[in-house]
Amino acid sequence: MFLAEKYQEILKEIAPCKLIAVSKTKPIADLLQAYEAGCRDFGENKVQEMLTKQPALPQDIRWHLIGHLQSNKVKYIAPFVHLIHSVDSLKLLQEINKHAQKHNRVIDCLLQIHIAQEETKFGLDFAETETLLQSEQLNLLKNVKIIGLMGMASLTDNQEQIKAEFAGLKRFFDDCKEKHQTENICFSELSMGMSGDYTIAIQEGSTMVRIGSLLFGERN
């Protein structure tokens, strides 16, 4: 079930930051409720699930891939995906570029940065990101555009820790924005904040929050 009142409340609270409704594991009926409440940005973490939902829902929805993307799956989402939040290698960017070209599109991407303490999360560190942004090969990719960064804070109750991680990512974002501006790099979006930590993320400069359980209820 989609909580329309909660949605309106969060929208007001976070404006002008954008809200991505994370609909993973939720049935089409729930997404339709969200759509009817005005939501147009949906986030899914699995390619297969996005592919099942996309044709069944209105075509003006903007689909955000927020989970790890394998190179061999890029071709399936290339025709329609709006923004890929989870890019973490040049190889993946090259693959996205190749398929975007086939569809005559430029696909917007965020680089996923590892800011949490947990080892398990995907993403680049700051040094790897610098290297990627400076690479000559990136310059050759005309069908992808890097428009910012995405990060997930540690899974902790320690608010100071979360705040410090988001603040660090914001500083790095500002730094990249100043240093890197080319035809296919233009920093404008900072995707950070989920149900448990979006308030802190907003305070620290997020432009896009990805909220699931607070809008759709807990996942099984």
Ligand X SMILES: *Cc1c(COP(=O)(O)O)cnc(C)c1O
Residues engaged in binding ligand X (CB under 6 A): 22, 24, 45, 66-67, 194-196, 210-214
* 134 C-beta neighbours (distance < 10 Å), count: 11
Between 114 and 210, name the residue whose CB sits nearer to ligand X.
210
> Min. distance of Cβ 135 from ligand X in angstroms?
25
Give exposure, 4-41, as e/b (b: 16+ Cβ within 10 Å): eeebeebeeebeebbbbbbbbebeeebbebbbebebeb
Is the distance from CB of 195 to CB of 201 less than 8 angstroms? no
Q: Are 85 and 112 in contact (CB under 8 A)?
A: yes
In the complex with ligand X, the residue whose CB is nearer, 26 or 170, is 26
Q: Phi and psi dihedrals of 122, rounded to 5?
A: -75, 170
Compare residues 138 and 211 and give the one whose CB is closer to ligand X. 211
Asked if 172 contacts 165 with a C-beta cutoff of 8 angstroms, the reply is no
Q: Are 148 and 175 in contact (CB under 8 A)?
A: no
Q: Residue 142 Cβ, how far from ligand X at the closest point, in Å?
A: 28
Q: Give the shortest CB-216-to-ligand X separation in angstroms.
A: 8
Q: For ligand X, give the closer residue by CB, 168 or 196.
A: 196
What minimum distance in Å lies between the beta carbon of 59 and ligand X? 24
* Among 142, 114, 131, residue whose Cα is nearest residue 180: 131
Looking at the Cβ atoms of 148 and 212, the one nearer to ligand X is: 212
| In the complex, least distance from residue 148 CB atom to ligand X, rounded to whole angstroms | 15
